């Protein structure tokens, strides 16, 4: 850590000592009040010229406890400060060339409003979040994503969205602004990494209420001790009572709770995932069902045409020419690979002239071209082409099903090709399952997460891929509305659902899902609908998001268990010290054989303070996630952090007491 950063963290820790900051954390606010009272008692003893060494020692240790708790939160927040400063510098320098009434004028990007249009030329920084209306080009998004490899952005595609602060390397774009000033992607990233918009998640709020309730119980218990002692004509030391209170309340988890939440957000940021709230990261840990597209998530998504399979009575050349004609204006990788395979087999007729293109849609699942001679060449899924052919009263070849099943059973995707006169055959598209996907699905299954593959492939191909990938279930021949319906079904059954998407047609399902992970290279509609955005545009990132969420929940649970458990040891250290002088018989509880009441109190408070910074690395890194069910993880946490939370303080307090006794 750089010296300047460390000094900044210390300054923030000191600022958080102000009452308006301390009041936000009920547990640490009680410590704050206890410190103030202890300091006042110390000064009173000094003025009365009475021994004040123990009182001032306790006050200093309590103050350090507050500083360590503040330090843990400030340290977590500081992890994103460097990135925030870089993003702020990028935002401040943004200028735009606005198109207004056919004229161009240079303005500050902060003055642009939704609907405005800007011109961006090669070498310029894209000044706004928006959709490309015209043009295409390659964009360097390293300022946002950290990835230096350029990406293609093009109008009227699922990759038409651009982000302010990225650089257009080639081409020329006309971009329409989509965000209000102050609400751009850069603004949201700055707010998130600085923690300015970090709100407590529902689980964190519930835990805060529980900790506050426990604290109030102990406050009432300790507050009733002086009247009871007075009734018995016994005088208690108020500094000792403050020490007892601080050691009984869950200060460890109270001090670390904000840092745990911020660290969860930071781990998502380190994975290049922007979560729109801490709640999204936490909900990811409770996910029961994962909806995953096959293409790009389970497989590489780079399906290539590998073979022509003509029906009876049709030659490979006839099929290849028809497939090539249907792919002439197809911008997809699959379409380009079909055209390449065609040209490897034969040349296309010179007289081919396209009158109108038939674009692929998720509803029709057909694409192709209408020629100037009015003939039509199309390709698409088997059921879609059969439906298209029946509408035109074309004959369905007898061996078409055999060819489709042949490709499907091999794990490929059959693409049926037809002209307006006949169905000609099948093109085999081959994709490859990503390595390690099956193992990750197995780990998620062990954590209680059900995986469902969604694909437009036919049931046979989908079944083969599903079996090879190891998913729990699959939905074949799926349309966008099928995803939405499936999400609602799972939610109606009481499950939390996560899905990934990048297109405008994915937006309804992304909005409906409990976790909607949108791709950065997707449309603006998809990014607005989701509650997370993956800057790397890697669909498999959804698996990492779920693991980050579960690690957040497990870390919070483990440290809460440890905090509550170590109160037991502190109780046995403090109680004999508080009451031994007034009630000699209670000295029997001093089985730890601590040197004196004074060293017992100071030792317990020192441990109580030091355990907070000692656990900061664990809070930041997170407890190691193991592939196991919730019951197994609970037992593991109880054994390691519950038992450890009892034993560690006994050993540490005894060691500190022995050290202090050397100087007395």
Among candidates 519, 457, 440, 158, which has minimal Cα distance to 303? Answer: 457
Separation of alpha carbons 413 and 428, rounded Å:
6
Which parts of 117-189 are beta strand (E)? 117-121, 130-134, 136-140, 151-154, 161-162, 167-168, 172-177
Separation of alpha carbons 95 and 22, rounded Å:
41
Given a contact cutoff of 8 angstroms between Cβ atoms, the answer to whether 153 and 102 are in contact is no
From the number of C-beta atoms within 10 Å of its C-beta (0-12, 13-18, 19+), residue 220 rates as exposed
Beta strand 130-134 with 172-177 is antiparallel
Separation of alpha carbons 97 and 107, rounded Å:
6
Alpha-helix runs per DSSP H in 493-591: 507-512, 524-529, 541-579
Given a contact cutoff of 8 angstroms between Cβ atoms, the answer to whether 513 and 498 are in contact is yes
Among candidates 259, 246, 386, which has minimal Cα distance to 311? Answer: 386
Could you list the residues known to form a binding site for ATP, using ranges.
Answer: 330, 334, 360-367, 379
Could you list the residues known to form a binding site, using ranges.
Answer: 330, 334, 360-367, 379, 502, 506
Among candidates 231, 626, 293, 290, which has minimal Cα distance to 457? Answer: 293
3-state class (DSSP) for residue 108: strand
Candidate list 187, 237, 293, 534, residue with the active-site label = 293
158 is catalytic: no
Given a contact cutoff of 8 angstroms between Cβ atoms, the answer to whether 339 and 327 are in contact is yes
Tokens read off for 471: 């998913």
3-state class (DSSP) for residue 19: helix
CA atoms within 13 A on the CB side of 300: 12
3-state class (DSSP) for residue 378: strand
Find the angle CA(272)-CA(277)-CA(283) to the nearest 5 degrees: 90
Could you list the residues known to form a binding site for Mg(2+), using ranges.
Answer: 502, 506
Buried b (16+ CB within 10 A) or exposed e, 470-479: bbeebbbbbb
By annotation, the residues acting in catalysis are: 293
């Amino acid at each position: 850590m750089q010296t300047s950063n460390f000094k900044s963290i210390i300054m923030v820790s000191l600022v958080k000592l102000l009452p308006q900051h301390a009041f936000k954390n009920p547990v640490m606010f009680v410590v704050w009040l206890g410190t103030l009272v202890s300091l006042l008692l110390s000064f009173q003893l000094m003025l009365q010229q009475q021994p004040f060494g123990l009182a001032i020692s306790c006050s200093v240790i309590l103050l350090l406890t507050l500083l360590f708790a503040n330090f843990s939160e400030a340290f977590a927040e500081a992890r994103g400060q460097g990135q925030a400063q870089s993003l702020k510098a990028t935002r401040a320098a943004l200028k735009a060339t606005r198109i207004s009434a056919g004229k161009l004028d240079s303005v500050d990007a902060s003055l642009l409003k939704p609907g405005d249009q800007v011109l961006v030329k090669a070498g310029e920084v894209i000044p706004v979040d928006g959709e490309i209306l015209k043009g295409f080009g390659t964009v360097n998004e390293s300022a946002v994503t950290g990835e230096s490899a350029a990406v293609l952005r093009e109008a009227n595609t699922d990759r038409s969205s651009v982000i302010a602060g990225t650089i257009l390397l080639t081409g020329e774009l006309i971009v329409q602004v989509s965000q209000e000033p102050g609400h751009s992607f850069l603004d949201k990233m700055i707010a998130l990494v600085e923690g300015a918009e970090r709100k407590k998640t529902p689980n964190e709020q519930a835990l805060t209420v529980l900790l506050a309730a426990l604290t109030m119980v102990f406050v009432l218990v300790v507050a009733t001790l002086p009247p009871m002692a007075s009734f018995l004509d016994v005088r208690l030391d108020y500094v000792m009572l403050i020490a007892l209170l601080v050691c009984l309340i869950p200060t460890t988890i109270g001090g670390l709770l904000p840092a745990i939440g911020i660290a969860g957000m930071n781990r998502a940021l380190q994975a290049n995932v922007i979560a729109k709230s801490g709640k999204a990261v936490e909900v990811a840990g409770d996910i029961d069902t994962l909806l995953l597209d096959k293409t790009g998530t389970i497989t590489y998504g780079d399906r290539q045409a590998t073979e022509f399979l003509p029906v009876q009575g049709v030659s490979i050349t006839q099929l290849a020419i028809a497939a090539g004609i249907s792919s002439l204006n197809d911008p997809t990788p699959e379409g380009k690979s079909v055209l390449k395979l065609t040209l490897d087999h034969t040349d296309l007729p010179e007289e081919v002239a396209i009158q109108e293109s038939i674009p692929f849609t998720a509803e029709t699942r057909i694409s192709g071209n209408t020629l100037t001679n009015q003939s039509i060449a199309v390709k698409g899924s088997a059921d879609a082409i059969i439906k298209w052919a029946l509408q035109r009263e074309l004959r369905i070849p007898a061996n078409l099903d055999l060819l489709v099943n042949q490709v499907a059973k091999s794990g490929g995707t059959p693409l049926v090709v037809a002209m307006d006169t006949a169905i000609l055959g099948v093109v085999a598209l081959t994709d490859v399952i990503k390595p390690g996907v099956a193992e990750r699905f197995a780990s998620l299954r062990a954590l209680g997460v059900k995986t469902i593959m969604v694909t437009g492939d036919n049931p046979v191909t989908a079944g083969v891929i599903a079996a090879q990938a190891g998913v729990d279930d699959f939905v074949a021949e799926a349309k966008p509305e099928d995803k939405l319906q499936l999400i609602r079904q799972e939610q109606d059954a009481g499950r939390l659902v996560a899905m990934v998407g990048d297109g405008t047609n994915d937006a309804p399902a992304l909005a409906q899902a409990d976790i909607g992970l949108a791709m950065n290279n997707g449309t603006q509609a998809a990014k607005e609908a989701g509650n997370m955005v993956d800057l790397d545009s890697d669909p498999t990132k959804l698996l990492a998001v779920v693991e980050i969420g579960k690690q957040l929940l497990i870390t919070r649970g483990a440290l809460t268990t440890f905090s509550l458990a170590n109160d037991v040891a502190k109780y046995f250290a403090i109680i004999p010290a508080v009451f031994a002088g007034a009630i000699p018989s209670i000295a029997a509880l001093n089985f730890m054989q601590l040197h004196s009441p004074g060293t017992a109190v100071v030792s317990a408070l020192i441990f109580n303070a030091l355990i907070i910074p000692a656990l900061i690395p664990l809070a930041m890194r997170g407890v190691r996630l193991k592939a196991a069910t919730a019951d197994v993880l609970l037992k593991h946490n109880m054994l390691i952090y519950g038992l450890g939370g009892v034993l560690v303080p006994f050993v540490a307090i005894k060691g500190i007491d022995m050290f202090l006794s050397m100087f007395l």
